[in-house]
Structures are given as structure tokens and as C-alpha cells.
């Protein structure tokens, strides 16, 4: 738990620290969307590369200019590489509840397109990808255990009411005697 708390506020300091197994959280996003690193060298861009997207200001010519415009208090190194990121898939906790299509479309867009961030914008997510997936399986497992516990209590309640605690007792004839003329005993269910 201490490791998770320490990671939460730790920033990425160098491009070499990026790892495909880790999750990252950019500081400029208000919602907590997690991203994973894509280490494909053909997708690399530098902070000094020309900004080819919609411009919010006339002063934006490079990626570094854009990020300085968005967060003026963070200095971006012009010679550094930008991290190539992809949105991390949203995991469903409750598989019985249908999620809305609008959230599916929103998350699918983030997981398909590449997004570039300077290293100075990234901080580590509390968990890496593998731990994050395991962590989200836990509620499903706990729900299933509670369901099995309730089923067992219900089975015991039925067994107490009919005074029968095993399947073998259910299959025995009621009075235990075989009527004359019957050679084969068929199971009798109450």
C-alpha cells in the first residue's frame, strides 16, 4: 500500500524511464484517464517538431509551444522526445450491468489513437497494467463468493425444512420397503 501511495505523486523524470508495462497519468487532464506507453520508434516525435493540429493561438508552432500554452508554469525541453501514448482500456467491474454506448465510444477513441505528451507532463499511475487488471477482478470475485455463500445458506434452509441433507436421502423410497412385483427401483423424488 505504501508503494502505491508513493507512486501516486511521482513524476517521470527521463524518457528512458518509460516502460510499456506501466500506466501514466498526464497532469493536464481533469478526468483520470490512464495511458500506456507505446515504444514504437517510428512514431517518435520531438518537442521541437511542427504542431500540425488545430491551433488555439498564433504563437503555437511546435509541440513545446502548445504544451507551454496549456501549462505555462512547466518548462518543456525543446530537444527532448515526446512520449507516444495510447489510452488504457476501461475495465468493467459489473458485468451484469450494461454500460452506455456513449462511454464505450469515448474510451474506444482513446485506445485507438496515438497521443503525444512531454515527459514533464507525465506522472505514474498508482498501479501498473498487470496489477490494475488484477485489482479490477477482485470485486467480481468478491461478488461471486457472496453469491455462493447465500446459495449455501438457502440450501441449508431448504434442507432443514424437509429434513434431508444429501441427495442420497432424496433418492430413497419414502417408507424404505419395496412393493411386491417390482424388481427395479426407480428413484423417487419428493
- pLDDT tens, the chain, 190 aa long: 677 667 767 888 888 888 888 888 888 776 678 889 998 888 888 888 888 777 777 778 888 888 888 888 888 888 888 999 998 876 555 555 555 555 545 544 667 888 888 988 888 887 888 888 877 777 777 788 888 899 888 888 877 777 766 666 666 665 555 555 555 556 655 5
Domain 2-127 coded CATH 2.170.260: yes
pTM of the entire predicted model = 0.61
Domain residue extents for the chain: 2-127, 130-190
Q: How far apart (Å, rounded) are the C-alpha atoms in residues 74 and 121?
A: 8
Q: How far apart (Å, rounded) are the C-alpha atoms in residues 24 and 123?
A: 6
Amino acid at each position: 500500500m505504501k508503494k502505491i501511495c508513493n507512486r501516486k505523486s511521482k513524476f517521470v523524470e527521463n524518457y528512458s524511464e518509460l516502460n510499456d508495462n506501466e500506466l501514466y497519468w498526464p497532469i493536464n487532464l481533469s478526468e483520470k484517464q490512464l495511458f500506456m506507453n507505446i515504444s514504437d520508434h517510428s512514431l517518435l516525435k520531438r518537442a521541437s517538431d511542427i504542431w500540425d493540429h488545430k491551433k488555439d493561438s498564433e504563437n503555437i508552432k511546435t509541440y513545446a509551444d502548445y504544451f507551454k500554452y496549456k501549462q505555462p508554469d512547466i518548462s518543456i525541453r525543446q530537444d527532448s522526445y515526446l512520449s507516444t501514448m495510447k489510452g488504457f482500456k476501461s475495465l468493467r467491474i459489473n458485468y451484469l450491468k450494461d454500460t452506455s454506448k456513449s462511454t464505450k465510444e469515448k474510451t474506444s477513441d482513446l485506445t485507438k489513437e496515438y497521443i503525444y505528451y512531454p515527459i514533464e507532463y507525465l506522472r505514474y499511475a498508482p498501479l501498473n497494467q498487470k496489477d490494475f487488471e488484477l485489482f479490477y477482478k477482485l470485486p467480481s470475485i468478491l461478488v461471486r463468493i457472496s453469491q455462493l455463500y447465500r446459495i449455501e445458506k438457502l440450501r441449508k434452509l431448504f434442507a432443514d425444512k424437509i429434513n434431508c441433507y444429501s441427495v442420497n436421502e432424496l433418492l430413497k423410497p419414502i417408507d424404505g420397503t419395496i412393493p411386491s412385483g417390482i424388481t427395479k427401483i426407480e428413484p423417487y423424488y419428493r
